[in-house]
């Protein structure tokens, strides 16, 4: 049997929507499908103020450009992370300050954040790893005590929640990704969420080459012009049409992913002590509702993780490790970080193995994967 790590959900009407987009007059940005997608996202997230972007990275850059960072300004983010947020900070003129994560959720550790706040800190970028929330109560409190902005990196966490509040809506700004690997995908794409109308208009202008063209299209002004420095981060209508076809079927996508994750959770939870010494299935704190973006196991060591990964590969199962923490990366070292820092991030990077999880899998596929994982643990 072959079980791929990821496969894209194929919505029923995607080709029809794409064809409509291609044959319409409006193939650039902010057409009918962008409007539909924005409306559904807003309703589901219980939030207004959503702009579609070309990626989550672009949305992070938008959020950071709204901070108007001055040289030396610092922005805190986890080392165990994709480089997008750190890149966005650098590109917007700030200094990324890495922190460690905590061991249960692999998310930003509030204690590490508190230890890294200085007079120059302007913002915190918590990333919700695998669609599981950061400890937002503590982070929001830290931010408000220190007058910091929170930019939630919910790239992996669309439709996850923390104490029933959708992720991406708890901070000042939220960003989402619609990259091919995400639960809802249009190949490459993203969204930026901002709750303050005036700031949203500023973001809209930055996203559209520093112009008020969107207002002109809404017939709110007679012409448009260059109003501020900006860039082009707008999503095309063809991508928006694909995105629309996916989020229309979000219930089905989430329920299929949940079903697969539950097969893993139930099968691995029934393991014996010998199995639990070799690996632990991921844990989700009770007040966090995930979107089942990822299901990983925590192996006892790097050697065990690699042994399990190769064993599964031989069985036709594509399971994968994840990030090289930023402090261990080539550029992280250039920024002055050293391998001895952030031990929890280093340990997570060595021990995490992500099992296949996608909507095209059946429960039988997941049972097969879980059975092979248990077989490996008994033999090891």
Ligand X SMILES: Cc1ncc(COP(=O)(O)O)c(C=O)c1O
Contact residues: ligand X, CB under 6 A:
55-57, 82, 84, 127, 153, 155-156, 177, 179, 190
- Shortest separation between residue 52's beta carbon and ligand X, angstroms: 12
Smallest CA-to-CA distance from 356 within 324, 325, 316 is with 316
Q: Is residue 2 a contact partner of residue 316, using CB atoms and an 8 Å limit?
A: yes
- Name the residue nearer to ligand X (CB basis): 183 or 211: 183
Smallest CA-to-CA distance from 344 within 4, 45, 102 is with 102
Q: Could you tell me whether strands 121-124 and 165-166 are parallel, antiparallel, or unpaired per DSSP bridges?
A: unpaired
- Shortest separation between residue 221's beta carbon and ligand X, angstroms: 31
- Shortest separation between residue 302's beta carbon and ligand X, angstroms: 22
- Name the residue nearer to ligand X (CB basis): 160 or 211: 160
- Name the residue nearer to ligand X (CB basis): 126 or 356: 126
- Shortest separation between residue 303's beta carbon and ligand X, angstroms: 26
Residue 180, SS3 per DSSP = coil
- Name the residue nearer to ligand X (CB basis): 242 or 263: 242
Ranges of beta strands (E only) in the chain are 50-53, 74-78, 95-99, 121-124, 149-153, 161-162, 165-166, 173-177, 190-194, 279-281, 288-289, 296-299, 352-354
- Name the residue nearer to ligand X (CB basis): 294 or 346: 294
- Shortest separation between residue 188's beta carbon and ligand X, angstroms: 7
- Name the residue nearer to ligand X (CB basis): 156 or 161: 156
- Shortest separation between residue 155's beta carbon and ligand X, angstroms: 3
Interatomic CA distance for residues 211 and 329, integer angstroms: 37
Hey, which residues does 234 pair with through a beta bridge? 53
Smallest CA-to-CA distance from 63 within 184, 194, 183, 170 is with 194
């Amino acid at each position: 049997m072959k079980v791929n790590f990821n496969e894209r959900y194929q919505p029923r009407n995607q080709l029809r929507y794409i064809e409509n987009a291609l044959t319409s007059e409006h193939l650039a940005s902010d057409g009918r499908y962008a409007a539909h997608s924005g409306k559904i996202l807003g309703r589901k997230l219980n939030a207004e103020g959503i702009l579609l972007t070309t990626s989550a990275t672009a949305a992070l850059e938008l959020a950071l450009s709204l901070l108007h960072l001055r040289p030396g300004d610092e922005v805190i983010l986890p080392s165990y992370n994709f480089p997008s947020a750190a890149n966005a900070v650098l590109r917007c003129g700030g200094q990324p300050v890495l922190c460690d994560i905590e061991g249960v959720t692999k998310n930003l550790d509030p204690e590490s954040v508190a230890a890294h706040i200085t007079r120059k800190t302007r913002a915190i970028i918590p990333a919700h790893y695998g669609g599981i929330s950061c400890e937002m109560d503590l982070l929001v409190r830290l931010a408000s005590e220190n007058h910091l902005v929170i930019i939630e990196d919910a790239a992996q966490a669309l439709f996850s929640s923390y104490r029933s509040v959708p992720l991406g809506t708890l901070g000042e700004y939220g960003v989402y990704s619609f990259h091919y690997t995400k639960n809802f995908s249009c190949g490459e794409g993203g969204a930026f969420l901002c709750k303050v109308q005036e700031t949203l208009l500023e973001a809209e202008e930055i996203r559209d080459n520093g112009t008020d063209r969107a207002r002109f299209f809404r017939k709110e002004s007679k012409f448009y012009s260059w109003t501020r420095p900006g860039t082009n981060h707008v999503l095309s209508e063809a991508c928006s049409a694909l995105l629309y076809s996916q989020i229309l079927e979000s219930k089905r996508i989430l329920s299929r992913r949940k079903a697969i994750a539950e097969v893993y959770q139930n099968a691995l939870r029934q393991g014996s002590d010998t199995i639990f010494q070799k690996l632990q299935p991921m844990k989700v704190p009770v007040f966090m509702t995930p979107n089942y973006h990822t299901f990983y196991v925590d192996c006892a060591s790097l050697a065990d993780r690699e042994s399990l990964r190769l064993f599964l590969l031989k069985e036709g199962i594509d399971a994968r490790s994840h990030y090289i923490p930023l402090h261990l990366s080539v550029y992280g070292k250039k920024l002055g970080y050293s391998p001895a820092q952030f031990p929890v991030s280093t340990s997570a990077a060595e021990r995490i193995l992500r099992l296949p999880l996608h909507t095209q899998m059946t429960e039988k596929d997941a049972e097969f994967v879980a059975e092979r994982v248990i077989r490996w643990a008994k033999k090891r």
